Amino acid sequence: MGRLTVRRPVLHLNADGSTRSRPDTLVAEEPLELRVGGKALSVTMRTPGHDVELAHGFLLTEGVIGSGLDLAGARYCNSVDEQGRNTYNVLDVDLAEGVAPPDASVERNFYTTSSCGVCGKASLDAVKLKTRHSPAADPLRIGRELLLELPDRLREHQKVFGSTGGLHAAALFDADGGLLAAREDVGRHNAVDKVLGRMVMDGRVPATGTVLMVSGRASFELVQKAVMAGVPMLAAVSAPSSLAVELAEESGMTLVGFLRGRTGNVYTGAERIELR
């Protein structure tokens, strides 16, 4: 069902001015067309693997479904390459009886790139979605020392990144630091959708009492996805955007950025972090 990595020859430029030819490992990037009831909904560039989780997470964070009970099934369609082999790049999901189909605001007018899941929205007014699982009242508390350990715990599960250097990662931890799910993908939003999709499939939405740790920056979109799943805390190794902080504050979510080494910035919801 697709390869995670591919090997390509490169000309390596050495520090001493010499060159040499050697193979290099690249992360795979392929399109996935998501259909609902046979109707095309979105195309995203992703790293193959965990596609059903990706579909569950995407539909949850777009407000199409609220739990796994809202889906009746998922199957790959017969999308073939030049050699007649199934590419496993078209996934069709069926909604459960009585679940309303996606409205036009969810549809993408353009391809969704691996770096942006909001690009191509039919209407920017639809970007701020209303969650069925508000994290505002979540009683999560996490110790400062455990919070500081989460980037290293995430890094332990970035196996493909170790060989390619070209993947984002996301992981969901419980209040004791136990790993619930970890996924890698060329797209940061896809990695989060795969993790949250796993929670949907496991019946763990709303994801109360959890911390979502991401390897890159905390964008508005990632905060929105976490809010839609009821995640009370999002932590990132890099910076948040101003709109991400605003949304986290409005939603009652704890947002932590620049979490690396022994330091970090708490932008919202500091009361959930036990400082001593």
pLDDT under 50 in the chain at which residues? 1-2, 109-111, 122-124
Environment class of residue 179 by beta-carbon count within 10 Å: exposed (0-12), middle (13-18) or buried (19+)? middle
Contact between 30 and 2 (Cβ < 8 Å): yes
Contact between 160 and 5 (Cβ < 8 Å): yes
Model pLDDT, residue 120: 53
Helices then strands, counting H and E runs in the chain, come out as 6, 14
Kindly report the number of other CB atoms within 10 A of residue 118's CB atom.
15
Is residue 116 annotated as a catalytic residue, yes or no?
A: yes
The CA-CA-CA angle for residues 220, 61, 273, to 5°, reads 60
The CA-CA-CA angle for residues 120, 70, 180, to 5°, reads 85
Residues with Cβ within 8 Å of residue 246, at least 6 apart in sequence:
none
Catalytic residue among 26, 45, 116, 148: 116
Residues with Cβ within 8 Å of residue 136, at least 6 apart in sequence:
251, 252, 253
Model pLDDT, residue 149: 97
* Residues 9, 13, 19, 21, Cα dihedral to 10°: -10
Model pLDDT, residue 276: 79
Please say whether the dihedral angle defined by the alpha carbons of residues 233, 248, 260 and 24, taken in this order, is positive or negative. positive
- What does the pLDDT look like over 79-111, one tens digit per residue? 777 777 778 999 999 999 999 999 776 665 444
